């Protein structure tokens, strides 16, 4: 063999070994059958894989993600049991339909973290959605990002847990706009109440949609029972929300709707506010909301317009 080809062949094999495994595009099939996947490559727990739009893939048991593996659901994935995230963590992106009893991380394992993103479609669990990491040596962090679709409780008393061991790997919950919905979850724990985890509070980010301010400007985190906080930092982004046509106006947008609240929220960081605008958080008995004042975008003053016109006239005469 030509020695010059050896590095190229090695590079090709390395590229293929890290390529995304893709479902067959002809309807899907059982996860463990090689006919379900292009190239007859059944994904292992450390592989990244995609269920294409139009395919339905089923699994009679459990699917695992480790070592940073990525799973992208553009079609439909139905798991009889659960998705388990182990050492090294993984990513789950749902742009179609996902169903399982549980999604959970191995809390005590190093970097057993999950980045979960729902962009459209439905993510449904019937037992629990627990994304926890209690290993203080972990350097990776977990996140849930909701920008569209429905996060659905398909069971009874089903809750969400999202937190890390300490500030070095702090988790984040990101609500982007108002196109997503959260339906029927019983409780939400965003802080590890265990001894020694005082810095585990999840960072919360809310980006108001590009539309009217006030009620409904962002997807509400809602539970039928309790929410657990522990001094969580809140960030609210006002950059894209509509401003009044003139003067200034005050608004209120609910961020969390709860049956009961344990703990308190921490500081508020406001993004995208201009001169004469302000915001603050309020616990109003059964909701946490952000109250804010927005100001109209100022029109250019008459003196400024005259100055611009004069500058243009001078420039024109100089060109002549």
Give pLDDT tens digits for 8-45: 433 333 334 446 999 999 999 999 999 999 999 999 99
Pair 177, 149: CB distance under 8 Å: no
The mean pLDDT value of the chain amounts to: 89
Assess whether pLDDT exceeds 50 at residue 5: no
Other CB atoms within 10 A of residue 311 CB: 10
Confidence of residue 197 (pLDDT cuts 50, 70, 90): low
Alpha carbons 226 and 286: distance in angstroms, whole number: 10
What's the first-to-final CA gap in the chain, in angstroms?
A: 73
Place of tokens 């089903």: 158
Residues 93-112 as b/e (b if ≥16 CB within 10 A, e otherwise) read bbbbbbbbbbbbbbbebbbb
Contacts of 253 (CB under 8 A, 6+ apart): 208, 213, 214, 215, 216, 217, 218, 289, 290, 292
For residue 290, the SS3 value is strand
What does the pLDDT look like over 155-167, one tens digit per residue? 989 999 999 988 7
Kindly report the backbone phi and psi dihedral angles of residue 152, in degrees, each rounded to the nearest multiple of 5, phi listed first. Answer: -120, 130
**Strand-pair category, 149-153 with 122-132:** parallel
Q: In this predicted structure, what is the pLDDT of residue 9? A: 39
Specify the pTM.
0.88
State how far the Cα of 43 lies from the Cα of 66, in Å rounded to an integer. 12
Alpha carbons 53 and 114: distance in angstroms, whole number: 23
At 18 the pLDDT is 45
Q: Would you say the C-alpha torsion 256, 260, 262, 263 has a positive or negative sign?
A: positive
Rounded to an integer, what distance in angstroms lies between the CA atom of residue 152 and that of residue 92? 16
- Report how far apart, in Å, the C-alpha atoms of 288 and of each of 86, 186, 187, 201, 318 are: 34, 17, 15, 16, 61
């Amino acid at each position: 063999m030509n020695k010059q080809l050896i590095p190229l062949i090695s590079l090709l094999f390395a590229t293929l070994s890290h390529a995304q495994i893709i479902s067959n595009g002809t309807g899907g099939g059982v996860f463990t059958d090689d006919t379900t996947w292009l190239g007859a490559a059944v994904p292992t727990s450390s592989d990244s894989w995609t269920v294409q739009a139009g395919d339905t893939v089923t699994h009679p048991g459990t699917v695992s993600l480790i070592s940073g593996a990525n799973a992208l659901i553009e079609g439909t994935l139905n798991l009889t049991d659960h998705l388990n995230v182990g050492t090294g963590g993984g990513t789950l992106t749902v742009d179609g339909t996902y169903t399982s009893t549980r999604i959970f991380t191995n809390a005590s394992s190093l970097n057993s973290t999950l980045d979960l993103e729902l962009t459209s479609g439905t993510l449904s669990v019937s037992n629990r959605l627990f994304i926890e990491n209690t290993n203080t040596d972990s350097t990776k962090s977990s996140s849930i990002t909701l920008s569209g679709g429905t996060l659905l409780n398909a069971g009874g008393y089903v809750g969400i847990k999202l937190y890390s061991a300490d500030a070095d790997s702090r988790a984040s919950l990101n609500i982007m706009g108002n196109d997503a919905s959260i339906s029927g979850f019983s409780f939400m724990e965003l802080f590890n109440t265990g001894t020694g985890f005082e810095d585990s509070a999840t960072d919360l980010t809310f980006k108001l949609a590009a539309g009217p301010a006030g009620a409904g400007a962002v997807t509400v985190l809602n539970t039928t029972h309790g929410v657990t906080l522990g001094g969580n930092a809140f960030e609210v982004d006002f950059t894209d929300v509509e401003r009044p046509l003139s003067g200034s106006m005050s608004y209120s947008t609910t961020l969390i709707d709860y049956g009961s609240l344990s703990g308190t929220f921490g500081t508020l960081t406001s993004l995208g506010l201009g001169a004469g605008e302000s915001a603050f958080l309020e616990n109003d008995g059964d909701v946490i909301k952000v109250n804010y004042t927005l100001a109209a975008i100022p029109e250019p003053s008459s003196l400024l317009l005259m100055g611009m016109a004069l500058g243009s006239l001078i420039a024109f005469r100089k060109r002549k």
